[in-house]
């Protein structure tokens, strides 16, 4: 029995359930069988391009700590920490500004195999792993997600004559086909609340991602806090499927090499902004990753580090920084949203 037959445990599957199985199935899932990071994997993330990226995020955290009135203790939660590289650098950098016992970092990771990888790489008593945000007992709490939201599967919908139908997949003659099916009245009412997608004939909706955010918001409202999300996405109206697959650092035909290729989607940042504002949270203007990193001093940090480098290492350093901030690379493709509790 191939992976497709195992996944279609019922006749029709909404796309988000299908992708969830492909990525996270405990026996056949992509993140169970693969370490997708770096040259040997399928893709590379900003923390693995250069440690300066994580250093800049640590500066953002310290700046926020100052705005919170320099509390004696803060909790930091990294959402979907990948191979643990960001947390490894964050912990080291924060110790230069904060007292060692004044912060804890919690890693929220769904993949058991990635948790094992993270624990091999991070040997730090201030770092802990959680699968339940309610285990956080104090604040302020700062949630950070770099390429977290794109890995949470999205639903796809079609709207015609004010009737919303959901795209479902089914298996026929070992081929994956799709069909739009009616949704519940409750879901339809919920979707109609969002003006960002209200006039679209086709739209994607991160229902699973927003359910996670619902819990996170309760935590930051209870203890005071913030959310920083950095991801590749868009801010203009889109009526196209953004699902994409990569394998060996190249685009892979969607729904081929199932279980052996990553599947993700672009993040609708305007929808996220509308969602956070509906929860009565303060939301800073959405900005590009390049502007975020440059505003917090990535170029100045690179200049300092380059002072004692030879020409080859210096060229490599600036090449990596360019990848992170240049408009034609990750600088514009990746967006940043910053969200705060009103306290």
Mean pLDDT (whole number) for 286-306:
95
235 phi and psi angles, rounded to 5 deg:
-125, -5
73 and 224 in contact (C-beta within 8 Å)?
no
Alpha helices by DSSP H, 36-111 = 46-49, 51-67, 85-94
Domains of the chain: 15-151+207-235+264-340 (3.40.50.12710)
Whole-angstrom Cα Rg for the chain: 21
Note the pLDDT tens digit of each residue in 123-180.
Answer: 888 999 999 998 898 889 999 999 999 989 999 999 998 899 999 998 877 788 889 9
Note the pLDDT tens digit of each residue in 16-64.
Answer: 998 988 888 777 778 877 766 766 666 788 999 999 999 999 999 999 9
Residue 1 pLDDT exceeds 50: no
255 phi and psi angles, rounded to 5 deg:
70, 20
Nearest to 87 by CA among 139, 36, 38, 122: 122
Predicted TM-score (pTM) above 0.85: yes
Alpha-carbon gap, residue 66 to 227, rounded angstroms:
16
278 and 320 in contact (C-beta within 8 Å)?
no
Contacts of 152 (CB under 8 A, 6+ apart): 206, 208, 209, 212
């Amino acid at each position: 029995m191939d992976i497709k037959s195992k996944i279609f445990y019922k006749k029709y599957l909404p796309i988000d359930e299908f992708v969830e199985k492909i990525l996270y199935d405990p026996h056949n899932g992509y993140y169970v069988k693969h370490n997708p990071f770096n040259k040997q994997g399928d893709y590379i993330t900003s923390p693995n391009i250069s440690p300066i990226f994580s250093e800049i995020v640590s500066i953002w955290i310290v700046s926020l700590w100052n705005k919170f009135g320099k509390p004696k203790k803060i909790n930091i939660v990294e959402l979907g920490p990948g191979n643990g590289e960001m947390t490894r650098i964050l912990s080291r950098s924060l110790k230069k500004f904060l007292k060692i016992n004044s912060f804890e970092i919690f890693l929220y990771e769904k993949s058991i195999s990635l948790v094992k990888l993270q624990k091999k790489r991070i040997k730090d008593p201030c770092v802990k792993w959680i699968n339940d945000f309610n285990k956080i007992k104090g604040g302020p709490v700062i949630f950070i997600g770099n390429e977290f939201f794109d890995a949470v599967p999205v639903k796809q919908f079609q709207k015609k004559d004010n009737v919303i139908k959901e795209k479902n997949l089914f298996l026929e003659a070992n081929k994956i086909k799709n069909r739009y099916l009616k949704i519940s009245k409750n879901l339809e009412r919920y979707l109609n609340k969002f003006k960002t997608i209200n006039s679209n004939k086709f739209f994607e909706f991160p229902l699973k991602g927003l359910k996670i955010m619902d819990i996170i918001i309760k935590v930051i409202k209870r203890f005071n806090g913030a959310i920083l999300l950095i991801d590749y996405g868009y801010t203009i109206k889109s009526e196209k499927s953004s699902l994409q697959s990569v394998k060996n650092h190249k685009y892979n035909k969607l729904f081929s090499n199932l279980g052996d290729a990553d599947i993700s989607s672009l993040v609708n940042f305007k929808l996220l902004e509308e969602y956070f504002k509906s929860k009565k949270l303060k939301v800073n203007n959405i900005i590009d990753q390049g502007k975020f990193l440059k505003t917090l001093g990535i170029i100045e940090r690179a200049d300092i580090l380059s002072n004692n480098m030879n020409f080859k290492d210096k060229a490599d350093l600036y090449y990596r920084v360019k990848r992170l901030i240049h408009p034609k690379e990750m600088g514009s493709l990746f967006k940043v949203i910053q969200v705060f509790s009103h306290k």
